Amino acid sequence: MFAYKVVMVGDFATGKTSLIKRFVDNSFSEEYLSSIGVSISKKVLGNSTMMLWDIEGRTEFKPIFKQYLNGAKGFIIVADLTRKNTIESIQEHIKTSLSVVSDAPICIALNKSDIKSDFSVNIEQIKGLSANIISVFKTSALSGDAVEDLFKQLNAKIIKEIAC
Amino acid sequence: MAKDDKTLKDDEALLEAISPIVNELIDRNYINSKDKIAAQIAPLIGSAIRVQIKSQKDEVVDALYPVMGNMISRYVAKTFQEMLESINKQIQEGLSFRVIKRKIQAKIRGVSETELLLSQNANSNIRALLLIHKESGIVLAHAQNPLAPINEPEMLASMMSAIKSFINDWIEKNQEHKELGEIEFGGNKITIEDAGYSYFAIITDGPLYANSHKKIRKVLESIVVEHGDSIREFHGDLSSFSNMTIYKKISYLLKSESLKQESSKKIHPFLFLLPLILVFFIAWSWYEANKDAKLLTEVKQKLYTTPQITSYRIDALLDSNIISLRGEVPSKFHKDLAESKVSEILGVHGVKNELIIINIADDPMQISSNISYLLQGFNLSYNSNISYTYNYPKVELKGRVSSESSKAKLLASLKKIDGVKEIKDEIEVVLEDIKTTIYFDKASSEIKDSEMDKLIELASLLKTQESKFFIAIDGYSDSSGSSEMNKKLAISRAKEVEHFLKNRALVSQTLKAQGRDELPLELGIDKDSQEARCVIISWKK
């Protein structure tokens, strides 16, 4: 039996909460997000239980509350394919995450793939941002594209590391 | 050998030369990298203390005593306060069933009530206990009360950890090294008992009792001592916590019966009102029964005093102010009459008329009852004394009546009673004795005032008698004076009385007035007696 914590990191309004909703079994009310800045969800995958911490997105005026990153076994960094600045923030999010847990695997979710973007994204370049990145996905919380794969791949990686 | 001595000396010289420099370097490094050194040494200190506690617990206790002393005194003070609060609460509950039950239990067990009270305080009301990894918020082990389980302990643990970090961060910003201790929501409470890398979240219904808290600290202490390494190195694999020792330790704190006992002790406030309600109920029932009995008596009285139905056996029953009439009556008239008479009574809200109309002509009991009722009325009205014997189907009547007409009326009424088929009449008609003597003054035929009363009395008696009879009015005179004169006086006196009875008293019988040329011998009087000057009124034979 495994149980671990995964934190969703990203800028404000990149679709973290929607991705989680698409995927999980049970979650606390989103109201917690605005009150204490985090909402907890749970997903059972085989013999492991993934506790997903959906933390409040970073804005210009409010940094991420680093305390919530403690003890994470993996990170999902979410960016919005339609907002360039959210993609540019990925690097900083990686830095913040690794400053708390240096050896945690990271998955990048480029969300809102269902909406046509007016700029192109270099996936390989993003992948090269850190050795901790295991995959970069173009996801859509609306259609569900790549959502399952995103979480499952991260789960597989974490389980492998725990078992070692 | 000499070379070795030289090397040793060189080493010593070197050590002497660089010692101040090294010391200086260490000091400087310590000043510049205080945080780094602290971070490097911190895990080692934890492990070192744990090892020391395992091997030489007493020594550690001695070392920590000055610090622990204060903590213990504060803990003891807090425990006493909690205990006092709990005892006060129980005392305030006053004369409850729980108190009475405790008094009885104390007597049976032969312990003091205070002892029992203290032991009751030890009963826990814990719903769940979660051992949570501090850093990740993952539940390492948990146990919950099967009677009041909680939903999603993993989610609760993560949320608790998030709240804890959120609050602790704020506290640390204010440079106070404190930890979140309790969260209350509604009647429930989450108490947090912190250890190094893990903490206990204890979810309770109401406050956590002092004794439970003490036990929990003890269990947490033993878990940390035995499993501290596994907790510190937890990376997500729960298999190292799935062994039964931790679970057993936690479960020990959760005796399911304790919660059951707690909930069974909670007596619904209604039960306190029960004796009061019972008293009210008895009083109300008594009042209602009394009221009902009074109403029922009134109904029965009404049925009995209504002449047309008096003789029938009618039962009246009362239920919720509704009267049920049961029995047998001979006609619809009697049935409706009974209902309407009962309906008139104040307090009767309705009448359930279950009277059965039957032909009671052949019921000897009913016939006899009807005859009896009729004769009672007749005897009262006519001042007679007629008795009867009823041998089905024959009625035998005995007694006297004063007139044929009243006898005829009685017989006619009897014939009207259903079921009376044969009447044997042995009733004698005996005329009332009307004999009256009116006295006159000497040589006078004028009726004196004193005699007038007698005549009025007679007149009223005659009015109850039949008209067909004749009345003799015989006038008399004494023997003094001339015979002719006396004759005239006698006739004149009789006529005077006749006149009065006929024209003033208006009697209906035929009057025969006559003057008698003789003394009223029947009176047994002397010749010269003044009593011979009279008129005698009697039935004419």
Q: Where are the domains of chain B?
A: 1-32, 33-121, 122-265, 272-357, 364-429, 436-539
- Which backbone phi and psi does A98 adopt, to 5 degrees? -70, -20
**In the CATH scheme, what architecture does the domain B272-357 have?**
2-Layer Sandwich (3.30)
pLDDT for the residue numbered B414: 87
B155/A51 Cβ within 8 A: yes
B137, A71 contact by CB (below 8 A): yes
Closest approach of chain B CAs to the CA of A153, in angstroms?
17
Domains B272-357 and B364-429 share a fold: yes
Label residue B257 by pLDDT band (50, 70, 90): very low
Report how far residue B245's alpha carbon sits from residue B300's, in angstroms, rounded to the nearest whole number. Answer: 83
| A70·B236 Cβ contact <8 A | no
Residue B260 pLDDT level (bands cut at 50, 70, 90): very low
Chain B positions in Cβ-Cβ contact with residue A42 (cut-off 8 Å): 152, 154-155, 158
Nearest residue in A to B151, CA atom: A26
Residue predicted with more confidence, B262 or B277: B277
Tell whether B503 lies on the interface with A, counting CB pairs under 8 A.
no
Which chain A residues are closer than 8 Å to B158 by Cβ?
Answer: 5, 40, 42, 51, 53
Distance CA B124, CA B205 (A): 9
Whose tokens are 């090892």? That residue is B51
- The domain segmentation of chain A, as residue ranges, is 2-163
* pLDDT for the residue B114: 62
| Backbone phi and psi for residue A28, each to the nearest 5 degrees, phi listed first | -75, 165
Which chain A residues touch B155 with a CB distance below 8 Å? 26-28, 40-42, 51
| C-beta separation of B535 from B435 below 8 A | no
SS3 B102: helix
Average pLDDT over residues A103-131: 92
Residue A39 has pLDDT above 70, yes or no: yes
> Which residue do the tokens 């009767």 mark?
B348
Residue B264 is predicted with a pLDDT of 45
Element (H, E) at B460: helix B449-463
**Chain B residue closest in CA terms to A39:** B159
Q: Which of B155, B158, B236 sits opposite A2 (nearest CB)?
A: B236
Rounded-to-integer distance, Cα B75 and Cα B531, Å: 133
Half-sphere exposure (CA, 13 Å, Cβ side) for B471?
A: 31
pLDDT, mean of residues B290-306: 87
Residue B87 distance to chain A (closest CA, Å):
38
Helix B57-92 / helix B34-55 crossing angle, nearest 10 deg? 80
Q: Residues near B105 by Cβ (< 8 Å), separated by ≥ 6?
A: B116
Residue B189 is given by DSSP the state E
> Which pLDDT does position B246 carry in this prediction?
75
Interface check for B137 against chain A (CB to CB < 8 A): the answer is: yes
Alpha-carbon gap: A99 to the closest alpha carbon of chain B (Å): 15
Whether residue A5 lies within 8 A of chain B, CB to CB, comes out as yes
pLDDT at B495 over 90: yes
Closest CB to A4: pick one of B138, B159, B163: B138
pLDDT at B229 exceeding the cut of 90: no
Chain A contact present for B113, CB below 8 A: no
Fold designation for B364-429: Histidine-containing Protein; Chain: A; (3.30.1340)
Chain A residues with CB under 8 Å of B168 CB are 67
Q: Could you give the 3-state DSSP secondary structure of residue B280?
A: helix
Give bridge partners of residue B133 from the DSSP assignment.
B198
- Segment (H or E) for A106: strand A106-111
Q: Say whether A42 and B152 touch across the interface (CB within 8 A).
A: yes
Contact B159 A163 (CB under 8 A): no
Q: Mean pLDDT across the stretch B253-264?
A: 50
Put simply, whether B166 touches A (Cβ < 8 Å) is: yes
Q: What gap in Å lies between CA B487 and CA B476, rounded to an integer?
A: 8
Tokens of B44: 């080692």
The DSSP 8-state label assigned to residue B69 in this structure reads H
CB-based burial label for B168 (10 Å; 0-12, 13-18, 19+): middle
More confident call, B308 vs A137 = A137
B39 touches chain A (CB under 8 A): no
Within 10 Å of residue B356's Cβ, how many Cβ atoms?
A: 9
Residue B136 and residue A40: Cβ atoms within 8 Å?
A: no
Instruction: Report whether pLDDT(B88) > 90.
Output: no
Q: Does B158 touch chain A (CB under 8 A)?
A: yes
- In the CATH hierarchy, which fold is given to the domain comprising B122-265? Beta-Lactamase (3.30.450)
Contacts of A27 in chain B (CB under 8 A): 155
B309 vs B324: CA distance, rounded Å? 16
Average pLDDT over residues B421-434: 85
In this structure, are residues B64 and B53 in contact, taking their beta carbons and an 8 Å threshold? no
What's the Cα-to-Cα distance from B351 to each of A59, A92, B345, rounded to whole Å? 84, 93, 11
Name the DSSP letter for residue B502.
I
The string of pLDDT tens digits covering residues B7-16 is 777 888 888 8
- Backbone phi, then psi, for B406, in 5-degree steps? -70, -35
Q: Name the minimum distance, in Å, from the CA of B179 to any CA of chain A.
A: 15
Task: State whether B162 and A1 contact (CB < 8 Å).
Answer: no
Q: How far is B251 from chain A (nearest CA, A)?
A: 20
Mutate to test the interface with B, among A8, A42, A51, A53 (most CBs of B within 10 A): A51
Instruction: Give the residue with greater pLDDT, B418 vs B415.
Output: B415
Give the number of other CB atoms < 10 A from CB of residue B51: 11
**Any residues with CB less than 8 A from the CB of A6 and at least 6 apart, and which?**
A50, A51, A52, A53, A72, A73, A74, A75, A76, A154, A158
A28: contact with B, CB 8 A cutoff: yes
Contact assignment for A40 to B158 by CB distance below 8 Å = yes
Higher pLDDT, B123 or B55: B55
The interface predicted TM-score (ipTM) is 0.88
pLDDT range class, residue B259, cuts 50, 70, 90: very low
Q: Which of A26, A71, A161 sits opposite B136 (nearest CB)?
A: A71
Cβ distance of B237 and A71 shorter than 8 Å: no
CA distances from B208 to A158, B136, B212, B285 (A): 38, 26, 7, 47
- Which tokens sit at B480? 């003094």
Determine what percent of chain B is predicted with pLDDT higher than 90: 11
Contact assignment for A162 to B158 by CB distance below 8 Å: no
Evaluate if residue B267 carries a pLDDT over 60. no
* The pLDDT of residue A92: 92
Q: Would you state the pLDDT for residue A125?
A: 93
Residue B498 has pLDDT above 50, yes or no: yes
Tell me the residue type at B315. D
In a mutagenesis test of the A interface, which of B169, B235, B243, B247 is the best target, namely the one with the most A β-carbons within 10 Å? B235
Contacts of A91 (CB under 8 A, 6+ apart): A129
Task: Give the ranges where B97-152 is alpha helix by DSSP (H).
Answer: 97-109, 113-121
Q: How many interchain CB pairs under 8 A, A with B?
A: 78
Tokens in use for B204? 């309770």
Average pLDDT for B160-175 = 77
Contact residues on chain B for A1, CB-CB shorter than 8 A: 237-239, 242
Inter-chain residue contact A5 with B155, CB threshold 8 Å: no
Omega before residue B207 within 30° of 0, cis: no
Do A51 and B154 make contact, defined as CB atoms within 8 angstroms?
A: yes
List the structure tokens of A82. 């339609």
- DSSP secondary structure string, B340-377? HHHHTSTT--EEEEEEEE---TT-HHHHHHHHHHHHHH
Give me the residues paired with residue A38 across strands: A55
B155 interface with A at CB cutoff 8 Å: yes
**Residue B464 pLDDT level (bands cut at 50, 70, 90):** confident
Contact of B171 with chain A, judged by CB distance below 8 Å, is answered with no
Confidence tier at A3 by pLDDT (50, 70, 90): very high
**The CATH number fitting domain A2-163, selected from 3.40.50.720, 3.40.50.300, 3.40.50.10800, 3.20.20.150:** 3.40.50.300
H-run or E-run covering A117 = none
In this predicted structure, the answer to whether residue B62 has a pLDDT above a threshold of 80 is no
Interchain pair B165, A70: CB under 8 A: yes
User: Which residues of chain A have a CB within 8 Å of the CB of B237?
Assistant: 1-2, 162-163
- Answer CATH for B436-539 from 3.50.50.60, 3.65.10.10, 3.30.1330.60, 3.90.70.10: 3.30.1330.60
Query: Is the pLDDT assigned to residue A83 strictly greater than 70?
Result: yes
CA distance B512 to B276: 89
**Contact at CB, A71 and B135, closer than 8 angstroms:** yes
Residue with token string 């907790």: B231
Interface touch B239/A1, C-beta < 8 Å: yes
**SS3 assignment, position B326:** strand
CB B431 within 8 A of CB B465: yes
pLDDT greater than 90 at residue B152: no
